């Protein structure tokens, strides 16, 4: 009996709640695939400590997981305030640029107008009357009444309490911010030194943002993969070109849900998943997946439906943020995601992604392998790859009833496959005799409990031929 894997991958964020090696070991044994390091909240000393803890836990669990650095990127924030400010509806507020060394704090002038400093020098240039300013993840909403060369005059629509350094969103506005900040450059240098496998770039607005990051990573000799975070309207508008320049997407629903009308968010999520499916690249659904479980041992019914929706859409990966970084129940959060995913995949009838455009005979052979595996009861697909291309295409075909067992002799390729839907990766040496490699793979599957004697496998490999050196081969094999 072939054991089914959890097809939707789980990415978790490390933080105070999960820094302990014992906790990390249990998470890895539970099936998490990638660990995210949020550089908005981690300094370099803490980063080194956390990476060391993850690697120690991997050794204890006997399983390798990927390391993803979430690059902070540029952002617009308010400056400090003396004390939290209550901004009631109708309050007049003036925003103006203040450099980092400016000591004045937010205050109220003689006319009752609240003066608030921001870190963005082009704020006044970017806004005009009628534009919207959202503060603190949209909890405070203001409308622009006038904009001069140095300041932006607004009126509060949705009231709230303003604290220090609150995030500002300008929906629909093309901001003049660099793709990579000085802090990001320092973080990336440390990331390459520590051997990170993935880098997620925040607020990607165009393909050029990723090309800049790619040049930086390449210049340091890293072959890490780049994930583009879609977080604003510009990213949505340039989705296809951004995907072409990246190795995958992350639908970062926190800021995206502030930047676009909330009723559009489910549609945009679905469009992003479909776009990645058709391009054969992985997509991650992130933010607020199990938010209530930061404090509660059980999810809300709405969260169960949200996770289920991501699984039904066949996203490659779901991400846990605060749930595992600072939450009380990190292990339970992983268990909840895994249980929902496994149950739903059992309910899906045989089928695969017929929309994927396969251009080469080799890739079309993979569709034949999927169809054949679906026709056989309890069959798996075994594929061998030194660059990860064939497993990536097989994953994009989304075979619903059979696991994809991908074998590689390259550890970097093994880690890349950790983000791919339905792919269970293994690291083994490849022999010159392809049959010996196949037999080693079969032995590994039996040893790890994935299959047993009598099970059928659709094997995709290559064999030596007379006219040419290598012939792609598709075989039906029975484990002895």
> Which domains does the chain carry?
9-73+179-346 (3.20.20.60), 76-169 (2.40.33.10), 361-478 (3.40.1380.20)
DSSP-derived letter for residue 431 is P
As to burial, measured by CB atoms within 10 angstroms (0-12 exposed, 13-18 middle, 19+ buried), residue 132 is middle
Give the position of tokens 């097989």. Answer: 394
Strand partners, 299: none
- Rg of the chain in Å (alpha carbons): 25
Q: What is the structure's pLDDT at 395?
A: 96
Question: pTM of the predicted model, to two decimals?
Answer: 0.93
Question: Residues of the chain whose pLDDT is less than 50?
Answer: 465-467
Map residue 443 onto helix, strand or coil. Answer: helix
What gap in Å lies between CA 68 and CA 201, rounded to an integer?
Answer: 11
DSSP, residue by residue, 19-34 = -SHHHHHHHHHHT--E
b/e string for 247-283 if b means 16 or more Cβ within 10 A? bbbbbbbbbbbbbbeeeebeebbeebbebbbebbbbb
Q: Which uninterrupted H or E stretch holds 126?
A: helix 123-126
- C-alpha distances in angstroms, 368 versus 230, 315, 381, 385? 34, 23, 11, 18
Q: Which two tokens stand for residue 438?
A: 């196949």
Question: DSSP 3-state helix, strand, coil percentages of the chain (rounded to 5)?
Answer: 40, 25, 40
What gap in Å lies between CA 152 and CA 82, rounded to an integer?
Answer: 21
Q: What is the structure's pLDDT at 216?
A: 94
Q: What is the structure's pLDDT at 104?
A: 54
Sheet containing 140-147, strands listed edge to edge, beginning at the edge strand earlier in sequence: 76-77, 167-169, 132-135, 140-147, 151-158, 92-97, 114-118, 107-108
Q: What is the structure's pLDDT at 145?
A: 96
């Amino acid at each position: 009996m072939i054991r089914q894997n959890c097809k939707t991958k789980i990415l978790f964020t490390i933080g105070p709640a999960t820094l302990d090696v014992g906790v990390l070991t249990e998470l890895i044994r539970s099936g998490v695939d990638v660990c995210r390091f949020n550089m908005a909240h981690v300094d370099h000393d803490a980063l080194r400590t956390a990476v060391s803890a993850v690697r120690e836990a991997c050794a204890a669990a006997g399983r390798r997981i990927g390391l993803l650095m979430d690059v902070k990127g540029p952002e617009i924030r308010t400056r400090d305030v003396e004390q939290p400010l209550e901004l009631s509806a109708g309050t007049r507020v003036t925003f103006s640029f203040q450099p980092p060394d400016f000591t004045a704090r937010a205050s109220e002038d003689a006319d009752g107008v609240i003066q608030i400093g921001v870190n963005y020098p082009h704020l006044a240039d970017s806004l005009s009357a009628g534009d919207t300013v959202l503060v603190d993840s949209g909890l405070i909403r203001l409308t622009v009444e006038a904009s001069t060369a140095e300041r932006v005059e607004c009126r509060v629509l949705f009231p709230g309490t303003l604290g220090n350094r609150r995030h500002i969103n300008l929906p629909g506005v093309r901001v003049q911010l660099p793709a990579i900040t000085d802090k990001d450059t320092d973080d990336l240098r440390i990331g390459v030194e520590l051997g990170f496998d993935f880098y997620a770039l925040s607020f990607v607005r165009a393909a050029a943002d990723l090309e800049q990051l790619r040049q930086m990573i390449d210049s340091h000799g890293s072959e890490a993969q780049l994930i583009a975070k879609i977080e604003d309207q510009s990213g949505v508008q340039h989705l296809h070109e951004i995907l072409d320049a990246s190795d995958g997407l992350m639908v970062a629903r926190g800021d995206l849900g502030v930047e676009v009308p909330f009723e559009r968010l489910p549609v945009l999520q679905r469009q992003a998943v479909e776009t990645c499916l058709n391009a054969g690249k992985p997509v991650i659904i992130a933010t607020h997946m199990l938010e209530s479980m930061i404090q509660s041992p059980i999810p809300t019914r709405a969260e169960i439906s949200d996770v289920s929706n991501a699984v039904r859409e066949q996203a490659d990966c779901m991400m846990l943020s605060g749930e595992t970084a600072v939450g009380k129940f990190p292990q339970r959060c992983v268990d909840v995601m895994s249980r929902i995913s496994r149950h739903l995949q059992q309910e899906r009838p045989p089928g695969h992604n017929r929309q994927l455009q396969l251009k080469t005979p080799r890739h079309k052979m993979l569709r034949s392998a999927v169809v054949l595996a679906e026709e056989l009861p309890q069959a798996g697909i075994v594929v061998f790859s030194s660059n990860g291309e064939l497993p990536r295409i097989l994953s994009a075909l989304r075979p619903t009833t059979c696991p994809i067992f991908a074998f590689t002799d390259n550890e970097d390729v093994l880690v890349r496959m950790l983000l791919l839907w339905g792919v269970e990766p293994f690291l083994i040496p490849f022999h010159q005799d392809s049959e010996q490699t196949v037999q080693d793979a079969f032995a590994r599957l039996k040893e790890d409990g994935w299959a047993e004697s009598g099970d059928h496998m659709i094997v995709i490999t290559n064999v030596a031929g007379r006219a040419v050196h290598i012939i792609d081969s598709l075989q039906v094999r029975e484990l002895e």
